[in-house]
Amino acid sequence: MPVTGPLQVARISPQEAVDGDYVIVDVRSPREFAEGHTPGAVNLPLLDDRQRAAVGSAYKTRGAQHARVLAMDAVSPGLPTYLRSLSLLARGGGRLAVMCWRGGERSRNVIVLLSTVGVHAAQVQGGYKAYRRWVLDGLEGWHPDRCVFTLYGHTGSGKTELLRLLARLDRPGRPRPWVIDLEGLALHRGSLLGGLHQPRERTQKDFDALVWDALRKPAGDYLVVEGEGGKIGKLFLPESVAALVRGGRPVLVEAEADVRADRILGEYRPESWGPEDVARFRRSLALIGERLDPEQARSLRRAYDDGRFRDVVLRLLVAYYDPLYQRSSVDGRAFVCTLQTGSDPRRDVRALADGLDRALEAQGSACSS
């Protein structure tokens, strides 16, 4: 009987996996995947968190051979179901690109197993570790090649909604905006209360990956972002992104306090909060209260306890957010465009686009970088 060599596994780079017609299958444990993964990847772990910890411990204490046997014992009972899931995924469209932590045994073993049922897959060279390095290197070396506008405005002025509508605005023959909603990618509205009423918390690794994915896919003639500090919630902006925010042509978005209060209540919907959101709000309110005089802090707590949410929002704007934002983001800036928003966001976004058109014309060649 002829002796055959080891199966040759096709290998592709992280960029090829992301940009090609591949379905990325991440076979790392759920905990590893939750800490960071490629956008759109499917997590089909070869070992669950408990099994992975046991195999890792065996590797350290009893060596590689014992750890491999333990891993096979853990995987074997569920192997038929596991392979069926992968086969179904392969039939759904696109070749499979299998990724583990470093492009080692986990991903290779899955590819070998897939070959026994006639499914051909590629291994992501270097695994998630190499993908993460590619993201960080890309972010570090990136700089804008077109004009950047940065939207500033007091809390509730409508910047986020303007960005969303601007991204969908269709104006044939006019300059096309390329919008990156950093707060949307971060799942955080940027303020001390910005993490409330969000589906989950974004990790730094996933935020970096999403930002890099957006930056390397230009989708318009000029870039529009919202003015942020160095952080959005707990997430740090990559330095290249923080620089483009700081260097963007500043645009001021304004609105009356009553309009802003209504907009904030519509976005946050405090009447629908569960116990966790209520607890987070109270903690945030306590932190804000430390920066107000005692009577203002007590008044805010009473208004919230009484269900007078609009009063709470208006008092927070006037006593805390507006003065803070005015000093940090408005005073001293020479705005190239100013927009007063109202109750009609579609009218507002058209007015913003017209204002940006005029600013582009005025900036001329100075807007090429």
pLDDT of 310-363, one tens digit each? 999 999 999 999 999 999 999 999 999 999 999 899 999 999 999 999 999 987
* Residue 153 per-residue DSSP state: -
208 vs 21, residue with greater confidence: 208
| Same domain, residue pair 158 and 109 | no
> Tens digit of pLDDT for each residue in 136-179?
999 999 999 999 999 999 999 999 999 999 999 999 999 999 99
* Three-class SS state of 121: strand
Question: Percent of the chain beyond pLDDT 70?
Answer: 94
From 237, 234, 179, 173, select the one nearest 208 (Cα to Cα): 237
| Same domain, residue pair 256 and 288 | yes
| Same domain, residue pair 120 and 237 | no
Q: How far is CA 331 from CA 124, 232, 314, in A?
A: 49, 21, 22
| Contact criterion met (CB below 8 Å) for 223 and 148 | yes
| Same domain, residue pair 254 and 170 | yes
| Same domain, residue pair 165 and 312 | yes
Asked if residue 2 is part of any domain, the answer here is: no
Note the helical H segments in 257-320: 257-268, 275-289, 294-305, 309-316
| Same domain, residue pair 289 and 261 | yes
Question: Quick check: 2 pLDDT over 60?
Answer: no
- The count of domains in the chain is 2
Instruction: Determine whether 100 is an active site residue.
Output: yes
The whole-angstrom distance between residue 326's C-alpha and the CA centroid of its chain comes to 27
Percent of residues in the chain assigned helix, strand, coil, to nearest 5: 55, 10, 30
| Same domain, residue pair 129 and 150 | no
Q: Which domain holds residue 329?
A: 142-368
Domain boundary among 137, 159, 191: 137
d(CA 364, CA 115): 57
Quickly tell me which residue has 């099994």 as its tokens. 51
Mean pLDDT score, 92-105: 91
Crossing angle (nearest 10°) for helices 127-141 and 204-215: 60
d(CA 40, CA 43): 10
Asked if residue 1 is part of any domain, the answer here is: no
| Same domain, residue pair 158 and 92 | no
Domain boundary among 137, 162, 180: 137
* Three-class SS state of 251: strand
Asked if residue 77 is part of any domain, the answer here is: yes
Domain boundary among 137, 154, 170: 137
| Same domain, residue pair 155 and 23 | no
